[in-house]
Amino acid sequence: MEQTLADTNYDLIVLGSGPGGYVAAIRAAQLGLKTAIVERENLGGICLNWGCIPTKALLRSAEIYHYMQHAGDYGLIAQQISADIDAVVKRSRGVAKQLSQGVAFLMKKHKITVHMGEGKLTAPGKLEVKGEKGTETLTAKNIIVATGARARDLPFAPADGKRIWTYRHALVPPEMPKKLLVIGSGAIGIEFASFYKDMGAEVTVVEMLDRLVPVEDADVSAFLEKALKKQGMTIYTGAGVEELKATASGVTAKIKTKDGKVESAEFSHAIVAIGIVPNTENIGLETLGVKTTKGHIDTDAMCRTNVPGLWAIGDVTAPPWLAHKAMHESIISVEAIAGGHPHAMDPRNIPGCTYCRPQIASVGLTEAKAKELGYEVKAGTFPFIGNGKAIALGESEGFTKTIFDAKTGELLGAHMIGAEVTELIQGYTIGKTAELVEDDFIGTVFPHPTLSETMHEGVLAAFGRPLHI
C-alpha cells in the first residue's frame, strides 16, 4: 500500500529542475517565497546533465585534439597523438556531475525543498509527487511548469542506443563510430557531426531543408557548408532519410537526395537530431484544461498559462528552445508572481550559439526575414581575414555580418561565424537590448588586437565605411 505523506503547502512549486526550473526556484527564494522543486531524474535537468554542458566538454577535447594534429601550423612538433574516447567521455561526465552538485548546493543554500519523483497536477494549485517514499501531495498558490523536452524519434526507426542514437547516447557512446550518419543539421546535429569528425570518424549529414543550420542567416549556412566539406564531411541538403535499419554490424540507410534519387548507404552508427518533443504527457495538463499548440504550452508575455496560478517556461513552451531563454522566462514569471513588473519576453533579443568548428552565433533577424517583414535594410559583412588577432590565432576563416534598419539605425540582427563568436555575440545582444543605433556601435572603442574588432568593422561595413577591407 502506498504511503501518503502529509500535505505540504508552499508559496511556489516548480515542476522540473532544468536551467529554467532551478533558476526560478533560486529567484523565488531570494524574493522570500517558500519554494519547492520537483524533479524526477537529475538536478540541473537535460541541459546540465545530458545537453549543453557535457557537449561543450566533448567539443573542447575535440578542439584540442585538432590543434595537436595541426601543431606544425604553429611551429610546434607533436608526435604519436591519439584520442581515448572513453577518457574524453569520462571528463565530460565529470564536468556534468560537478555542475549538478553545484545546483544541489544552491538549493540547500536558498532553503528550497527538493522533492525527487514524478510530479502531476491534480487540481489548480495542487501537485502529486510519486517518489521512492510513496506519494506526497503538495499545494501552492502558484505552480511553474518547467518540464522541458526530449529528442524526437524517427517514426520508422526509434533510437536503440546501440546503432541509432539520440543526443543522450551520443554523449556516452558505447564505441567510437567509424562512419557516422547525422540526421538533422540544427545545433545538436551539427555539434555532434563536428565532434565526431574531429575525433576521426567519417561523417555524413542529411538535412531536410535546403540549407544547413536553417534558422541562421543564409550567408552563415553557405559558409558553414563550405567549411565542413573542406574538413571532409559529406553534406546532403534538401534530402530525407526514407529508411533506417540497424543491423548487427551497423546501420543501412536510404537517402532521397535533392534530385529525387534514392541512394542506399551503410554506416556504423546514426545520430537522430530532428527536433524535440515537449514533455507535456502525464503531468495533468488535461485535468486542468491547459491550452497547448502542437504539444507546447501556450503562455503570455509574463509566462502565464490560461489557468490562473499556473505558469510555464522553457522548452515546454514556444521557441526558441534554448536554456538561456528558459532562465530569462524563469525570472520574468517569478517576479510577476512576487508582484513585480518585469519586462515582457522579446525573442528578438535572445542570442543563439552553435559550438561546431567554426562556431556560429547570432541574435535578431536574418537579412531575409528583415526584408520579408518590410524593413529597408543596410547590411554589411566583414571577413575574419581582415582581423589581426584572427590571423595571429591561425583562425582567419569566418565573418561578422550586421543588419540595420536604414531609416532608424536600429540593429535588426547580427550573424557571426568563426573562432570564439559564441563569446562575442553578447556585445551585439547588449546593444540590441539597450536599443543602441549604428552611431553608438561606431562610436564604441573596441580593444586591439581582438576578434571583437570584426564586430566594429561589421557595423562600419553596413554603412559603407569598413577600414580593413
Cis, peptide link before residue 342, omega less than 30° from 0: no
43's grid cell: 538536478
Which position among 296, 415, 448, 468 bears the catalytic label?
448
Q: Identity (one letter) of the amino acid at 123? A: A
Does the annotation mark 448 as catalytic?
yes
- CA distance linking residue 14 with residue 127, whole number of Å: 10
**Cα separations in angstroms, 265 against 156, 233, 250, 270, 321:** 17, 15, 11, 12, 32
Query: What amino acid positions are annotated as catalytic residues?
Result: 448
